């Protein structure tokens, strides 16, 4: 096992929040395995950018909602780096079409939950087994798992119920894995972003601009992928060694109760 550089696997790591996380880890010397559904040719610029940060970035085209792709992703990460220190379950999708829950379609529900919940749940199973193996073979090994959820895990949006349910389920997944992996010394954290400026939120920019102007947030600005990246870096670097199973809010104070 390569002892000179820690390696992170970031799902959906070539755009949006995932890329913000990848940048933060690259700047701190991590080797990166990134996955997404796009062809490699479409993300060559991202890989070059991360390379200028000093990172070895390996891309695997994989759809985490599919079991064979999850297996392929872990196998390719193992073959390329030979180790895995950090899993960041970041990949997620919005509903193809926002619909009121009175008009919601089962096909959209199943699609969103396969990507946002079922995929990371079982990818964590594969990664955890590998981390446990590394821990048995290397006394200094320190694995970490991070789930990127959303304030939608607790804030209801009736025009995208399937997304809210998927994130609420992912929040429980983080707790379950924190409990199960504690005996192996593998901490598990949940990072819960709020309104983050990405391609996923670009279509509702005017809506959130107005809400921010009206005082929705204590810190009146959009969050950035880098805000989330810095939070993840702190967690995986061991800055919170006695906090497994905890939720880190990156929401500008959106969910702070106020009178």
The model's pLDDT over 111-133, given as tens digits with 9 standing for 90+, comes to 999 999 999 999 999 999 999 99
**pLDDT tens, 81-110?**
999 999 999 999 999 999 999 999 999 999
- In angstroms, the first-to-last Cα distance of the chain is 54
Does the structure show a pLDDT above 70 at 3? no
Across the range 150-165, mean pLDDT stands at 97
Query: Which is the catalytic residue, given 30, 163, 208, 242?
Result: 163
Nearest to 65 by CA among 89, 39, 41: 89
Across 23-37, 43-57, 69-83, 108-122, least confident range:
43-57
Is 59 designated active site?
Answer: no
Question: ∠93-94-98 over CA atoms, to 5°?
Answer: 160
Q: How confident is the model at residue 1 (pLDDT cuts 50, 70, 90)?
A: very low
- CA dihedral of residues 17, 19, 20, 22 (deg, nearest 10): 130
CA atoms 230, 236, 237, 240: torsion sign: positive
pTM, entire model:
0.96
**What share of the chain has pLDDT > 70, as a percent?**
98
Across the range 3-22, mean pLDDT stands at 92
**Is residue 177 within 8 Å of residue 231, measured between CB atoms?**
no
Does the structure show a pLDDT above 50 at 25? yes
Cα dist. 133→31, 77, 129, 138, 246 in Å?
Answer: 19, 15, 6, 9, 25
**Per-residue pLDDT, 45:** 95
């Amino acid at each position: 096992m390569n002892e000179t550089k820690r390696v992170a696997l970031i799902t959906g790591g070539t755009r949006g929040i995932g890329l913000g996380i990848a940048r933060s880890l690259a700047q701190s010397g991590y080797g990166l395995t990134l996955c997404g559904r796009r062809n490699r040719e479409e993300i060559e610029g991202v890989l070059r950018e991360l390379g200028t940060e000093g990172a070895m970035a390996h891309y695997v085209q994989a759809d985490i909602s599919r079991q064979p792709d999850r297996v392929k992703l872990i196998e390719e990460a193992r073959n390329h780096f030979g180790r895995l220190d950090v899993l960041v379950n970041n990949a997620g999708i919005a509903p193809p079409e926002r619909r009121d829950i009175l008009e919601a379609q089962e096909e959209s529900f199943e699609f969103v939950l396969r990507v946002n919940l079922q995929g990371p749940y079982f990818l964590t199973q594969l990664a955890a087994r590998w981390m446990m193996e590394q821990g048995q073979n290397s006394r200094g090994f320190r694995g970490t798992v991070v789930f990127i959820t959303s304030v939608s895990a607790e804030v209801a949006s009736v025009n995208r119920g399937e997304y809210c349910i998927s994130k609420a389920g992912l929040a429980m997944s983080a707790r379950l894995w924190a409990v199960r992996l504690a005996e192996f010394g593998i901490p598990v954290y949940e990072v819960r972003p709020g309104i983050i400026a990405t391609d996923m939120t670009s279509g509702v920019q005017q809506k959130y601009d107005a809400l921010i102007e009206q005082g929705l947030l204590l810190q009146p600005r959009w969050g950035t992928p880098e805000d989330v990246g810095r939070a993840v870096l702190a967690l995986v670097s061991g800055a919170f060694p006695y906090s497994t199973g905890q939720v880190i809010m990156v929401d500008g104070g959106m969910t702070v109760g106020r009178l």
